[in-house]
């Protein structure tokens, strides 16, 4: 078993990781050594920004996602199974949603717009779908009515297989591509031994899939035509990805929850295996090693960056705007433990700096950058909310 770090050993690891002062945080849970000096505990950045927090909608029940519409309105999902539209100061509950399994971590999860939303009114929803014998992550396509009050033409275009009777690790972010395809992140359902099947290619657990807007398999997916492999699979070996975004060059980045330590930022590429649960920079919640307690293996990708202790990441977006000085191109991540908006600066595909800002509003579940440069977030609380963030002064 990997021994836990003493306070002095933790300080040595933190000091040697980058020879620079990292963001203030607790001692790591393990003595695992990063594969490269910049893989964890990046140099702390100080932007000097004080966040101005404007409540947009309050009193929401565990909101999970926000999507900004071209007209300045917003769609908000609530995990118990409600979709709401905020527009011109009013909130409308939208009817016509599919049935969801709202137990534990399940419920109504992500919402995303089709690239041609302005003409098609097409949106996509991910959710925990109730099924005989359990549940599973599903994606539905629907048309949002012009008045924003209802959904029509609802079609389930993807169903994660197999069905499992559990209430954890559903994923699931939807990332539309300019080519008309969708990336969908899928959890491995958490429990032992089901989580080990994140390495099996005959199903969708612990995978990232790529499908067309109608749920079909793109012909250029990496495993099309391979026996025993689900053709929707784009990447494997993922734990529970609840943050995913495309950068300015169209590259896909994901952030997943680790166990006790080992939250990961990955630059996901077609056909790659990201290792869970064979390799991890975390340990089980009881402190025992994850499987063999190793952090690297041939044929498995290293995370670009990892956190130990965790930040509980959910929701991310790349900043493109003028309000926040030199933040252009930085990755903004929602953090739930401790609550924060985490800013990562990337250069050459590596993290070179980290900043944590606490708006004082609770657990940030999703992050979206608006066209005017403001940052919109939802907080996953019993009485959560939608908030707009901008620089004070």
Phi/psi for 197 (5° steps) reads -80, 5
Residue 356 and residue 43 in contact, taking contact as beta carbons nearer than 8 Å = no
DSSP labels, 134-169: EEEEEEEEEEE-TTSSBEEEEEEEEE-SS-B--SS-
116: tokens are: 């041609």
Q: Is 204 a residue of the active site?
A: no
CA atoms within 13 A on the CB side of 19: 2
Burial class (CB in 10 A: 0-12, 13-18, 19+), 339: buried
Q: How far apart are CA 222 and CA 226, in angstroms?
A: 9
Rounded CA-CA distance 305/343 in Å is 13
Tell me the C-alpha distance between 318 and 28, whole Å. Answer: 27
- Contact in structure between 209 and 137 (CB atoms under 8 Å): no
Cis previous bond, 106, omega within 30: no
Burial (Cβ within 10 Å: 0-12, 13-18, ≥19) of residue 212: middle
CA distance 140 to 151: 11
**Nearest CA-CA partner of 243 in 114, 134, 335:** 335
In the beta sheet, which residues pair with residue 346? 351
In angstroms, rounded to a whole number, what is the distance separating the alpha carbons of residues 153 and 287? 48
β-pairing, 174-176 vs 74-78, is unpaired
Q: Are 206 and 236 in contact (CB under 8 A)?
A: yes
Tokens 């003595």 sit on residue: 31
Of the listed 62, 169, 204, 345, which one is catalytic? Answer: 169
The catalytic residue positions are: 169
């Amino acid at each position: 078993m990997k021994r836990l770090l003493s306070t002095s050993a933790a300080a040595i690891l933190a000091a040697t990781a980058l020879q620079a002062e990292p963001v203030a945080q607790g001692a790591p849970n393990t003595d695992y050594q990063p594969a490269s000096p910049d893989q964890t505990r990046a140099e702390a950045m100080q932007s000097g920004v004080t966040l101005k927090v404007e409540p947009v909608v309050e009193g929401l029940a565990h909101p999970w996602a926000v999507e900004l519409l071209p007209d300045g309105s917003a769609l908000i999902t609530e995990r118990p199974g409600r979709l709401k539209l905020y527009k011109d100061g009013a909130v409308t509950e939208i009817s016509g949603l599919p049935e969801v399994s709202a137990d534990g971590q399940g419920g109504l999860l992500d919402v995303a717009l089709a690239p041609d939303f302005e003409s098609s009114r097409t949106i996509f929803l991910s959710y925990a779908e109730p099924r005989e014998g359990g549940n599973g992550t599903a994606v539905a396509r629907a048309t949002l009515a012009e008045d924003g009050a209802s959904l029509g033409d609802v079609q389930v275009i993807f169903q994660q297989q197999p069905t499992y009777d559990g209430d954890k690790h559903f994923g699931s972010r939807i990332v539309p591509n300019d080519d008309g395809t969708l990336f969908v992140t899928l959890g491995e359902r958490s429990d032992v031994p089901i989580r080990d099947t994140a390495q099996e290619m005959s199903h969708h657990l612990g995978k990232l899939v790529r499908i067309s807007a109608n749920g079909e398999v793109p012909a250029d997916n990496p495993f099309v035509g391979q026996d025993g492999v689900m053709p929707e699979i784009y990447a494997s070996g993922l734990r529970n990805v609840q943050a995913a975004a495309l950068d300015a060059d169209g590259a896909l980045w994901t952030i997943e929850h680790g166990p006790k330590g080992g939250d990961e930022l990955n630059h996901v590429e077609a056909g790659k295996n990201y290792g869970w649960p064979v390799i991890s920079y975390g340990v089980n919640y009881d402190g025992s090693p994850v499987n063999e307690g190793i952090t690297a293996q041939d044929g498995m990708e290293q995370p670009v960056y990892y956190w130990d202790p965790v930040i509980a990441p959910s929701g991310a977006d790349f900043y493109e705007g003028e309000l926040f000085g030199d933040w252009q191109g930085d990755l903004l991540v929602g953090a739930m433990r401790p609550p924060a908006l985490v800013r990562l600066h990337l250069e050459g595909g590596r993290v070179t700096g980290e900043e944590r800002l606490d708006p004082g509003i609770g657990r940030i579940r999703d992050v979206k950058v608006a066209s005017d440069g403001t940052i919109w977030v939802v907080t996953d609380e019993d009485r959560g909310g939608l908030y707009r963030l901008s620089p004070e002064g």
